[in-house]
Structure 1
């Protein structure tokens, strides 16, 4: 925590980063625990979409 704050992050940004990481950890464990199948091609496409469009692409996909 000290190193991140010393690098110029404020406490709010650090808290948000920790919450996002925790949420993704929870979701990954939930999906794995339920045994939901994953298609490597779909995962790759989703990663590319997130990289190029951020979460706006996910929002558009859900409409």
Structure 2
């Protein structure tokens, strides 16, 4: 979906009718259950996602990301933190698309080490 704003918008509006593979739809259904009824997740739910082609590691990662965003959203709401301007998100997306989540090490020798 990276770089396809129309597809992302379609997923946000309704992933069931969005132009995405069925495997992604299955994952989104599972994550919706994680969001709304986590206490009702059963092995059968996980098996359905695996049957759609997702690995245990991918499912674990999806649950983790979903859970972290739930935490961040609740934290932001409770503390009064507000959204950044769109430009901040666009710069962040550009940086992440080029370098991922791992920051580059700072230039120069490590702190406390002289050349």
TM-score, normalising length from structure 2?
Answer: 0.42
Structure number with larger C-alpha Rg: 2
2:80 is the counterpart of 1:35: yes
2:19 is the counterpart of 1:11: no
What are the ranges of 5 or more consecutive residues in structure 2 without an aligned counterpart?
1-45, 107-115
Give the paired residue count: 60
| 1:43-58 → structure 2 map (5 Å cutoff) | 43-56=89-102
Q: Aligned equivalents of 1:44 and 1:29: distance in 2?
A: 23
- Runs of 4+ in structure 1 over 4 Å off: none
Shift of 1:19: 1.1
**CA RMSD across the alignment:** 2.4
Q: Aligned equivalents of 1:3 and 1:18: distance in 2?
A: 15
TM-score, normalising length from structure 1?
Answer: 0.64
Q: Aligned equivalents of 1:38 and 1:15: distance in 2?
A: 28
What are the ranges of 5 or more consecutive residues in structure 1 without an aligned counterpart?
none
